[in-house]
Amino acid sequence: MSKIEPKTLKGFRDFLPEKQIPRQKMIDSIRASYERFGFEPLETPVLEYAETLVGKYGDEGDKLMYRFKDNGDRDVAMRYDLTIPLARVVAQNGEIKKPWKRYQISPVWRAENTQKGRYREFYQCDADIVGSSSPLADAEVLALAAATLKALGIRDFVIRINSREVINAFYDSLGLTEGEKISAIRAIDKIDKVGKDGVAEELTKNGIIYDTVQKLLAFAEVSIDAVKGQDELVKIGEELNVKEPLARLLSIVEVAYKLEPEARFVIDLSIARGLDYYTGIIFETTLQAAPQYGSVLSGGRYDGLVGMFSSKGVPAVGASIGLDRLYSALEELGLIKEERSTAKALIVNFDAALESDYLRLASELRASGVNTALYFETADLKKQLSYASEKGIRYAIIYGSNEAKEGKVIVKDLEKGEQEKVSVGDIAKYF
């Protein structure tokens, strides 16, 4: 029989222990942070009826969706993000007490062309508050974002914030048509990448007149610290005819700042967000030391989404961490601690006659919470010690006929190269 070539699908990957151990720690940290703010876990199915997802992400989103007929000829799609499924859950389970704060850490699928740091299956860590239009909810999402990154050991992040209300008020004051608004949002969003001239060129190409282009550029260039630059921002609000919505945005950020005084919040009017469903604040987060990864944490308010599944409109605001991007960025910044094994101790198996003692040692250690591995074959010490050290297991527990006579075991710390004799009964205490 010919062997099947082992391979993974384009854009999909395996996470080997070396990566998955620190990755899982990262997930644990994020989850703990979300729970500290009182968010509750939700899990939803991979597959949804296609009609649930289609049309929610714009034409582009529909094209990138994994969609097919299942064995029962149902038109199904794999979830494209975690937000639409949440909206479906909220609409479907009206009894859920609101405001509801839920989080979900799960993979999503997009049939995009791959690139470095861009995959077809990737994880998102979402936290959303459903059923409150209070600015406090917006502020708490911003604070959560900051607190979660801080918990991961990240210091140099900047949360750049804008609001769809501000954008709309400004565009209306310019008298842009709906079509022009969309192309303006798209163009302005690229200002970091293509620069002012590039944006101007694209706007002009889209038929926007010179005067308006200049105004749009002036708008997009606003990037001011929300706390230190507050006076300046108030002035800009008046100049650009966006006084009211900008003031609302500033008061949200002020509250977030009280919750997370160490965070850096910047009002950046070039932030646009591609997804159609945002209605209020929108934000993106970049790491200053690793800007090439783009936004690692973004979100915003989307008050209209649940209404697409239910006659009752339910306001919502949330944030999403791109786990894979953040991991790559942290890896580059040296914030990922390499760990190769989950086992802390290896029981050296070196005298077949003592096997029952090895088994007892293993179960005692495990019962007291020490992650313990047992070498399966009887083999020489050398081989087993080198197995432990190469595997990244820190302690070797050596027990042979000599030790058996004394009722002791040798615990060898392979990192320090030291060893100690401990009596058999005290082994768990050693750790």
Judged by the rule CB under 7 A, the positions of this chain that interact with RNA are 2, 5, 7, 9-11, 58, 60-61, 63-64, 81, 110-120, 122, 124, 186, 189-190, 193, 273-275, 294-298, 320, 322, 324-325, 350, 380-383, 385-390, 398, 400-403, 410, 412, 414-417, 419
Cα dihedral 354/360/361/365 (nearest 10): 170
Closer Cβ to RNA, 121 or 254, answer by number: 121
Closer Cβ to RNA, 62 or 254, answer by number: 62
8-state DSSP, 354? G
At position 388, the amino acid (one-letter code) is A
Closer Cβ to RNA, 89 or 145, answer by number: 145
Closest CB 64 distance from RNA, rounded Å: 7
Residue 169 tokens, joined: 């008020």
Closer Cβ to RNA, 58 or 229, answer by number: 58
Closer Cβ to RNA, 129 or 233, answer by number: 129
Closest CB 66 distance from RNA, rounded Å: 11
Closer Cβ to RNA, 254 or 332, answer by number: 332
Are 319 and 365 spatial neighbours (Cβ–Cβ below 8 Å)?
no
The DSSP bridge partners found for residue 49 are 76
Closest CB 400 distance from RNA, rounded Å: 3
Closer Cβ to RNA, 93 or 113, answer by number: 113
Closest CB 348 distance from RNA, rounded Å: 9
Is beta strand 408-413 parallel, antiparallel or unpaired with respect to 418-423? Answer: antiparallel
Closest CB 214 distance from RNA, rounded Å: 21
Q: What is the CB-side half-sphere exposure of residue 74 using CA atoms within 13 A?
A: 12
CA distances from 91 to 21, 86, 108, 303, 311 (A): 36, 9, 21, 13, 9
Closest CB 238 distance from RNA, rounded Å: 30
Closest CB 69 distance from RNA, rounded Å: 17
Closest CB 291 distance from RNA, rounded Å: 11
Closest to 410 (Cα-Cα) out of 343, 342, 341, 345: 345
**How far apart are alpha carbons 272 and 334 in whole angstroms?**
31
Are 150 and 262 spatial neighbours (Cβ–Cβ below 8 Å)?
yes
Closer Cβ to RNA, 79 or 120, answer by number: 120
**How far apart are alpha carbons 247 and 163 in whole angstroms?**
11
Cβ–Cβ contacts within 10 Å for residue 261, how many? Answer: 10
Helix residue ranges, H only, 240-354: 243-259, 323-332
Closest to 152 (Cα-Cα) out of 344, 302, 285: 285
333: Cα separation from own chain's centroid: 17
Closest CB 271 distance from RNA, rounded Å: 11
Closer Cβ to RNA, 2 or 93, answer by number: 2
Is beta strand 345-347 parallel, antiparallel or unpaired with respect to 372-374? Answer: parallel
